[in-house]
Structure 1
């Protein structure tokens, strides 16, 4: 240790200017790729690691020529929708939106076939099609045709006929899927057994090309959304307009992330400046720690940019956390530095800094390592963005320690603060309150902690993960209002697909029922006969109708669409008579191509022997429980409708989001279990005492339990942000524990008196703990101004848990030390 201290003094303290120049070069290198820094709020960023539902979702979208990349504009005129003026304004709006470069096509009540005419039959459906765009259809007739059509109500028009929607389709280029599947194939090969050097280069090329293409598509999509909003603004004087759709949600979430990164990062900085100025009242104690915090964020952000590591919704608070964690390290150094200044007024700044670094390097190193363990536990969660967040903060803590013990001392030697006019213990009164409370009411502290633990554990049993995505956003935001309108008036917001698999067609049949030995339209075919090459048979359609009716009848579902919807429409055309077997067989040939692309292709894939039923859930429904609903559907399909489990697949955004939500609770328990096992092991290594390891765990159990328990009692579900709070709280709270126990041991060695050591520890390290906790709580409190509700909860619960951690470290922890006496026996008082 003496050799290391000598090297440290000769390199860092003797040549601070050189150290800072070299560090400036490091910051410069980190800055070279800052233009590559990117944010990601895509569906892929909110899924489980290797979640097969994402691949199923993509495959379904391609097979049925369906994409979630569309925007929905809701249009509710001040008066009646079906007036010449309102329709003219709707047409003008539609035309302006359709002219946008990224919009491939539009769907609206203006362009869809009305399929309503006294002369309309299955034979002349092609020639008798009518649309509001191309024909002079009386508006009353158009209204009746749209509302009586089983396809359009709750989809393009509300059931009361007062609101309508324009769907803007944003096609994804085929190159996207080519790169995606080629990249994933090489990734699978790498995971299975490694790649050759040539294929590794190919994978790197594909990764970079895919990232570049995603960035281009995201930029185009953002530009399109901005253009749509600009157009909508011109029509708000005559109608209530809202914008919805997955691309808008992604774009707005990225906007919220950017806002949180900039606004709240700046807000935390301002709180830090104010707190440091009020506590220490010297400009050096504001400027130096502030620069250290900024340097840490700068360096970590540069590293993320170099490795193309995107920031997601979950990791968006990494700037605030790094600022606070770096400040925590520097505050402990500042308090110790000031103590040495007053204790040794003859020391120069290098001597004081060397004494400070020597005294604090061990507890700060232990603190950093245990915090890294806490954040590193997030890598076991199974949720991709949570894993990434864990690695980000692991790297960030290593950088923060380097900055605290290299950059901070160098700056301080160049800008030494004068001896404070304030006595070293002038502000000790507040922390002495905790020492006095522990001394006089230790039993109350102990049993009060036990009671709180019981209450918090009960609260944890009440935790849930069922939450409404709509409620992630404040009610006055456009995204919330648009989603509510679509959810309640236009069929729901959360998409869910049920794909049913048929047996493959007989080889050589080419899907032609007439070529088969057993004709299902004329003969009684047995189950073993190879005629299951077409979906258009009475038996199959009857089974699909039973599924459709079941899904449509669920309380949580909105609009349900399938081939059954098409058949009901054709029944209306067929003079309200159901299609017989022959008519049913020729449906694909009867419908014109433009109608088939709307009424058949999204629901039947004869090529892949699959039928698709698409459902939209009402996300704002108070009874919606996604996991229960999906299990209920699976159970009904297998027990009531006679399908085998491998004959159908539930897929779509709802399934992926549910998989992520359901993993939250298990992930939280697993994460915390790993954290506490790792920290207990670290405590054993650090303190070399089983007693101290157990004592140190106690306050760290109370802090995350308080946060999770309070959420349970308040019926606030876990979400993609709050899942990380427990690990963060443990990571920060353990810092106080290590510093306090380490300082207590130092103070106890002075006179072997536990009570006196406790009071001195509260007056020294207790102040640093209080300052750090105060800064953290104040810094996170600014997150309540976010428009993203999970961010608000993140700030509130982190602040609350940190208050609990501080109080526990200054009351419960010393009480346990006084009880167990882990540092050995007290020295017997000397008799007079």
Structure 2
């Protein structure tokens, strides 16, 4: 390594120029689009996602924004006029496919010549208000979908075409402006739907990318200045951070990845973790300067520090890279991008930091910090006297937190990721309680042409819908069968006895033909059945529920649908946004198990190879595994769920906490070899020399990750808190547990 160190010194200015050139190239390539839609979570090749996209293409799905209005009397003239006016204004928004509300809802009325399909609000006058209210509240389609059963809530459902992130933000703001413009005082407005959620996710993503760096960087600067009492060293580390971010984002752009609420944490992560290598280089350089000039200190530092820092960077990268096997694209891309950022930070650090230390540091040789020396010597003495108690405490903690791991639950309900005080959460809960719920699962039926005109198939559809409505947490079910029953009843002078499926296929065909003679009728059916009647959907609206309950309901719906249409030639598939997020429950569990297993095996494998020793490789497992066990156990005991943020904690934390162990063991072995010291003396020298850097890098990392607690996005907040706690446990593991194990096994 000394030869490499001398080469680095000889070509240090050339290396600097190369790093600057690469930074300029990567900087010019940075172009990352934001995407918080389902595409961010699911691979384009995922079979269930393909089914969902096919469903959306078939039935005209898109981005949905629900504008809910609350008033003591929705059916007053001023409120209905407001609904009518806003429906027309929403139709003029950019890339709107359709708007559905009481203003353009249609009422099927039987006449002597057949049926008429008239707008519900066709005669909006004071003397017609009771008739309008009666029709709306008695209609099986409208009730609890467009209007609540008590007549106090109504919705305007806006369906947009697929659009880019910037367009989502712009369209949502325009919809807000329209909704509040000219609003009477007796009306309250709420927004929900997947477009509202994507808008909020976009907001959190921008927060991760912009606000967090502005908070993290000053905190790091203050802590680094406290550590080194040197402004120049702070500036050196800031340069490393800036270049590392530039390289990471440029590389991320080259891969074509998009930014989302998960990958938005990439910048704060790279900022925090790119500091560690620089601190160890600066600390060792300062130690070398006590007895050597600048050139010798450079060579001494790079001879010793390059391999440990390279190993720590690789193990951190492996921990992050293990996320790349996740089925969830957002997690996968975060793992790849952040792993690359850590490796880039290492190469930038070994070029930038020692070079600028030789240029900016004074010729005066540094002195040893007496305060730190006394503190760390005190820790060494405590370990020597109390190592048995430390190990017993570690074992008891291991048992307690392993028990907590069995209590960890998974949560993929997006609404539960928002704080309860957030307007998005409160609006969703109001819709959930007063209307047809915010969850949706879709049963898609496929058969031959005109198959869905068959009375037996329609009766099966009707029977299934009625049985599903009896299930807990199901709020409303809509299918073609409902329209057929409404049309049949209207043709029989609205006689309730005829609210049923006709026995004749030809009669059903005639009734549907009459209904589709109206453009409005055709448009309504296009949302529920294909024009050739080969495919149809049963829309199941559900209340918000925990992931476990949602998974059970999804499995039950699939089973009931297959049993109902068994032997009929009708194929059954289950899809919908709620169903897809149910699949994330399985994906999260697989990601946790497979990702951490891969991270553990790869990191431990690197340690065994790096130390080339079974003994030291085995020793390194203990202080790194314990913090992970502790933190997952804390999740179980505290009720923190496994979600898109916390699923990354174990793999990311393992890659981080192993760094200090590597520096500790590397220095311990050096002390044993160089001075032929007894184990306890070697431990004292090791703790005194690397203990300061270990504690400070950990404190800096903890402070950086704690900044994430201000996020309004729960997975981000929990990710930051849990990583910070893990690093705290890692300090204990490296400074107390690891030396105690070494003493006990010497």
TM-score range, shorter-chain basis? over 0.9
The alpha-carbon deviation at position 11 of structure 1 amounts to: 0.4
The alpha-carbon deviation at position 641 of structure 1 amounts to: 6.7
Return closer, same or farther for 1:305/1:261 CA change in 2, 3 Å cut-off.
same
> Hey, what's the Cα distance between the residues in 2 that align with 1:412 and 1:110?
72
> Hey, what's the Cα distance between the residues in 1 that align with 2:533 and 2:294?
77
Among candidates 72, 80, 87, match of residue 87 of structure 1 = 80
Map of 2:172 onto structure 1: 225
Map of 2:734 onto structure 1: 809
> Hey, what's the Cα distance between the residues in 1 that align with 2:461 and 2:579?
21
> Hey, what's the Cα distance between the residues in 1 that align with 2:649 and 2:556?
32
Deviation sequence 1:131-176 (CA, Å, 0-9, x none): 314554711111111111000122111121101111122135xxxx
Q: Which runs of 5+ in 1 are unaligned?
A: 173-213, 506-532, 822-832
> Hey, what's the Cα distance between the residues in 1 that align with 2:464 and 2:486?
18
2:480 matches 1:484: no
Map of 1:728 onto structure 2: 652
> Hey, what's the Cα distance between the residues in 1 that align with 2:362 and 2:205?
38
2:147 matches 1:157: yes
> Hey, what's the Cα distance between the residues in 2 that align with 1:38 and 1:760?
50
> Hey, what's the Cα distance between the residues in 1 that align with 2:560 and 2:721?
42
- SS class of match (1:475): coil
- SS class of match (2:332): helix
The alpha-carbon deviation at position 606 of structure 1 amounts to: 6.1
Return closer, same or farther for 1:378/1:329 CA change in 2, 3 Å cut-off.
same
Map of 2:320 onto structure 1: 375
> Hey, what's the Cα distance between the residues in 2 that align with 1:407 and 1:646?
67
2:580 matches 1:663: no
Question: Normalising to structure 2: TM-score of the pair?
Answer: 0.93
Map of 2:502 onto structure 1: 580
Among candidates 214, 221, 228, match of residue 280 of structure 1 = 228
Return closer, same or farther for 1:84/1:422 CA change in 2, 3 Å cut-off.
farther
Q: Which runs of 5+ in 2 are unaligned?
A: none
Deviation sequence 1:328-363 (CA, Å, 0-9, x none): 111111221221223x1xx33232222112111111
- SS class of match (2:115): coil
> Hey, what's the Cα distance between the residues in 2 that align with 1:56 and 1:62?
10
- SS class of match (2:152): coil
Deviation sequence 1:201-255 (CA, Å, 0-9, x none): xxxxxxxxxxxxx6xx433332211211222343556221112222232122112
CA contact (8 A) 1:296 1:322 kept: yes
The alpha-carbon deviation at position 743 of structure 1 amounts to: 0.8
Map of 1:567 onto structure 2: 484
2:552 matches 1:628: yes
1:249-288 alignment runs, 5 A limit: 249-288=197-236
Map of 1:310 onto structure 2: 258
> Hey, what's the Cα distance between the residues in 1 that align with 2:392 and 2:523?
68
Shifted more, 538-547 versus 418-427: the winner is 418-427
1:4-23 alignment runs, 5 A limit: 4-12=4-12, 15=13, 18-23=14-19
> Hey, what's the Cα distance between the residues in 2 that align with 1:645 and 1:448?
64
The alpha-carbon deviation at position 61 of structure 1 amounts to: 1.7
Among candidates 54, 78, 88, match of residue 49 of structure 2 = 54
> Hey, what's the Cα distance between the residues in 1 that align with 2:409 and 2:266?
26
Shifted more, 648-657 versus 431-440: the winner is 431-440
The alpha-carbon deviation at position 765 of structure 1 amounts to: 0.7
- SS class of match (2:669): helix
1:166-181 alignment runs, 5 A limit: 166-172=156-162
CA contact (8 A) 1:466 1:626 kept: no
- SS class of match (1:114): strand
The alpha-carbon deviation at position 559 of structure 1 amounts to: 2.4
- SS class of match (2:540): strand
Map of 2:102 onto structure 1: 109
The alpha-carbon deviation at position 102 of structure 1 amounts to: 2.6
Shifted more, 766-775 versus 483-492: the winner is 483-492
- SS class of match (2:453): coil
1:699-778 alignment runs, 5 A limit: 699-749=623-673, 750-778=675-703
2:29 matches 1:39: no
Deviation sequence 1:745-803 (CA, Å, 0-9, x none): 11223133111111221111111110011011111111111111111101111101111
- SS class of match (1:500): strand
The alpha-carbon deviation at position 595 of structure 1 amounts to: 4.2
> Hey, what's the Cα distance between the residues in 2 that align with 1:645 and 1:676?
49
Shifted more, 248-257 versus 597-606: the winner is 597-606
Return closer, same or farther for 1:644/1:421 CA change in 2, 3 Å cut-off.
farther
2:278 matches 1:330: yes
The alpha-carbon deviation at position 637 of structure 1 amounts to: 3.5
> Hey, what's the Cα distance between the residues in 2 that align with 1:132 and 1:740?
77
Shifted more, 551-560 versus 760-769: the winner is 551-560
Map of 2:458 onto structure 1: 541
Among candidates 402, 407, 428, match of residue 347 of structure 2 = 402
Map of 1:124 onto structure 2: 114
Among candidates 339, 347, 364, match of residue 287 of structure 2 = 339
Question: Normalising to structure 1: TM-score of the pair?
Answer: 0.84
- SS class of match (1:164): strand
Map of 2:713 onto structure 1: 788
Deviation sequence 1:560-584 (CA, Å, 0-9, x none): 1111221342354231113532432
1:288-303 alignment runs, 5 A limit: 288-303=236-251
Map of 1:457 onto structure 2: 402
- SS class of match (2:158): strand
> Hey, what's the Cα distance between the residues in 2 that align with 1:540 and 1:90?
37
Map of 1:523 onto structure 2: none
> Hey, what's the Cα distance between the residues in 2 that align with 1:422 and 1:307?
47
Map of 1:198 onto structure 2: none
CA contact (8 A) 1:627 1:662 kept: no
Return closer, same or farther for 1:438/1:597 CA change in 2, 3 Å cut-off.
farther
Return closer, same or farther for 1:623/1:322 CA change in 2, 3 Å cut-off.
closer
The alpha-carbon deviation at position 257 of structure 1 amounts to: 0.5
Map of 1:204 onto structure 2: none
CA contact (8 A) 1:82 1:143 kept: yes
CA contact (8 A) 1:372 1:393 kept: yes
Number of paired residues? Answer: 735
The alpha-carbon deviation at position 640 of structure 1 amounts to: 6.8
Return closer, same or farther for 1:643/1:777 CA change in 2, 3 Å cut-off.
farther
Moved over 4 A (4+): 133-137, 417-422, 638-646
The alpha-carbon deviation at position 63 of structure 1 amounts to: 1.9
CA contact (8 A) 1:780 1:796 kept: yes
Among candidates 357, 366, 374, match of residue 412 of structure 1 = 357
CA contact (8 A) 2:488 2:502 kept: no
The alpha-carbon deviation at position 457 of structure 1 amounts to: 1.7
Return closer, same or farther for 1:230/1:675 CA change in 2, 3 Å cut-off.
same
2:687 matches 1:694: no
Return closer, same or farther for 1:378/1:404 CA change in 2, 3 Å cut-off.
same
